[in-house]
Structure 1
């Protein structure tokens, strides 16, 4: 009970931060118009697993306080070079103070000649990572440690996430699904032979959280559906992480489906149901699942890619991803997927994969889409992308430009 009270207090603090960032008149004056030639109804959405996670609680805040952390500078420059209007950052240790620190000391400071970016609005909330469950979730006979947290983490909020936006966030309409229980999803693939009856009943579905963050753009609302499902590895033959990854992805597939299919869903405030029919949305995040290769359950990400409400008319691609697959060789040469679609540079196994996604609803026309993975001949490759050990992250920023319709 003490921990639940603490989590509720922290969640309230997070929502207060959103209100302060998104509603205060003083903050609104910081917004600048978008780049020339991009009218207001053309919007760039992005996702970036930036690896801004640390092994000690509070270390990220210390790094972001200095303004001279090289990795944070590289993350900021990557965002400055691509200039998304709305961006989800995965693996950003949870602390409301970190949102301001990264924005003020890095995003709004020119990095290596790149123009600063200004995000007057942001959303951040608690993550299940590192939050003790009080249960033996890995069946090793003891309770405690990262494997027995609701989501793997060495401390509460490690590997969290944050949404930055040029456009106002409707803080009162945000929905979070941190406490939704896996067993409450009908037809789930929870490995019942592995978990105790108590664990089956209490285990949360989301390894971090699922967020519905409504963004107001030109009088219209676009729901940014953010998540970071667990990697489908680091388990045993029961495949508990692969199964959880599958159902974390399925959650959004059901959420944007018919009211009947989403009726089982409830948010952290107890409100039931999914997205209303006809609502615009963009699904963003590191989903740790490739449609052709890797360790995820067959068809896991296809629950979204093949969804009738999701647009996949343009697949984000890069020259650098295809180049690295050839240069690195090995298992990459055996992959079925197009390496120009890869978004992460992983060691073998599984090799480079497509795991990061920006998936708009069909009501949003895709105009362009790319993976920020320049070739080795580009000066930005060595500084911002590189090869292991990476100067920034083993993931690449992915962006999609969409056009909001003039009517409707």
Structure 2
């Protein structure tokens, strides 16, 4: 297989930074844990007892990797935090199969757009209602939500759940191929209502000693499950572009948060962009991840795993024709298409110093390979000196 690596120029310098330092490294991680359920309340019910097999595997993965700051994608939102509290108490606080318990005293959860009714026909099927007409696809409000767990204090969050897609300059609004008018898949009324984020975008200041690291978390829509208008593919690219603009002072003036504050991240602020971006820089249906990989000051630590290489060769299919190196894959998808690809990212900014990184995807000879089916995604981590 042809091997192609995307990396930023500063990576060469990062690789020769001595590990010896007075500061303690902080492990940032993202994990699409697939802790979503088909019906509202089911996740909370599953987590209220300590015996859900999948949740036990997810917890063990976390306990084995032991991140200090962790984003969980696809964790159904329950107002008040009962579901994440149950996961901490019944799973993370209990050692799983010999792993040590792990404690996260700080948590951030918030509402997301998935499953929130819009009252409009966003999917143009002639009826109003259902997941396709929600502000983000979902069977109920909060499905496929997000949660952040941290060993360090979390400051005042900026959220961008209600930022409208049309308010992004040059928004890639989809075109209805059945009409001669451009960018008209959504009516003018729908465009004035439709939100950019399919879940939400969060800027969470993590206070590590006297340093603040902005944890920029999101989960853009998959670039599929649509038609020739490519509404999900286009939205995926603009959801990713949001962070690229947010960390670029000259391009962030248009941004406003849910409290009405405008502008992006302060120049020079430390940040980590994290989440399941549903985008591979070289393969699959969206290459929008390049927008954050090439954003100012972003460093790509290039995490990888032996297990991903083994899986790609064993499964074949679409993997045989990919451009990217399977070492960097983070998700095990359908072998026909798109195959196994890199969609989950932990991308620090200079002057943060990445020391090491990885993808938790044990090879078949490893006893921990039994955890590979915890989710179709694998936990990605990076150790940083703030």
When normalised by structure 1's length, the TM-score is 0.86
Task: State the shift of 1:301 in Å.
Answer: 0.7
**Is the 1:88–1:161 Cα contact (8 Å) retained in structure 2?**
yes
Q: 1:279 aligns with which of 269, 277, 282?
A: 269
- Of 136, 147, 151, the match for 1:162: 147
Alignment of 1:239-388 (within 5 A): 239-258=230-249, 260-296=250-286, 298=287, 300-312=288-300, 314-347=301-334, 348-381=336-369, 383-385=370-372
Q: Are 2:188 and 1:197 aligned?
A: yes
Structure 2: distance between partners of 1:110 and 1:182: 43
In 1, the alpha carbon distance for the partners of 2:258 and 2:34 equals 27
- 1:218 Cα deviation (Å)? 1.1
Structure 2 counterpart SS, 1:285: strand
Partner of 2:66: 83
Separation in 2, partners of 1:42, 1:183: 40
Question: Residue 381 of structure 2: SS of its match in structure 1?
Answer: strand
CA drift at 1:202: 1.0
Alignment of 1:70-149 (within 5 A): 70-95=53-78, 96-149=81-134
Paired residue secondary structure (2:86): helix
**Contact (CA 8 Å) 1:257, 1:309: kept in 2 or not?**
no
Q: 2:177 matched to 1:186? A: no
Q: Distance in 2 between matches of 1:159 and 1:210?
A: 14
CA distance 1:38–1:131, change in 2 (3 Å): farther
In the TM superposition, what is the alpha-carbon distance from 1:87 to its structure 2 partner?
0.3
Q: 5+ residue gaps in structure 2?
A: 1-19, 175-182
Q: Once the 2 structures are TM-superposed, how far is the Cα of residue 308 of structure 1 from its aligned partner?
A: 2.3
- Give 3-state SS (helix, strand or coil) of 2:192's partner: helix
Deviation at 1:333, TM superposition (A): 1.1
Count of matched residue positions in the alignment of Structure 1 and Structure 2: 356
Higher RCO structure, 1 or 2 (CA under 8 Å, sep 6+):
2
Match for residue 204 of structure 2? 213
CA distance in 2, matches of 1:40, 1:80: 23
Aligned residues of 1:41 and 1:217 also touching (Cα < 8 A)? no
Aligned counterparts of 2:83 and 2:261: Cα–Cα separation in 1: 29
1:234 aligns with 2:217: no
Post-superposition Cα deviations, 1:317-367, rounded to whole Å, max 9, x if no partner, equal 000000100000111011000001000000021100000000001111110
- Contact 2:247–2:296 under 8 Å retained in 1: no
Alignment of 1:224 with 2:215, yes or no, is yes
Question: How far apart are the structure 2 equivalents of 1:177 and 1:169?
Answer: 17
What whole-Å deviation, never above 9, does each CA across 1:283-303 have from its counterpart, x for those lacking one? 00000000000001x4x1111
In 2, Cα distance between the equivalents of 1:277 and 1:294? Answer: 33
> Is the CA contact (8 Å cut-off) linking 1:331 and 1:349 kept in structure 2?
yes
Cα deviation code 1:147-181 (max 9, x no counterpart): 000000000000000000000111xx210000000
Are residues 116 and 40 of structure 1, via their aligned partners in 2, closer, same or farther at CA, if it must alter by over 3 Å? farther
SS at match of 2:383: strand
Kept in 1: contact 2:331–2:377 (CA 8 A): yes
Structure having the larger proportion of residues in helix: 1
Distance 1:125 1:41 in 2: 30
Report how far residue 39 of structure 1 moved. Answer: 7.0
Report the Cα distance in structure 2 between the residues aligned to 1:52 and 1:309, rounded to whole angstroms: 33
Deviation at 1:109, TM superposition (A): 0.5
SS at match of 2:63: helix
User: Structure 1, unaligned stretches of length 5 or more?
Assistant: 1-36
CA RMSD of aligned residues (A): 1.1
What is the DSSP-based 3-state SS (H/G/I as helix, E as strand, rest coil) of the residue aligned with 1:224? strand
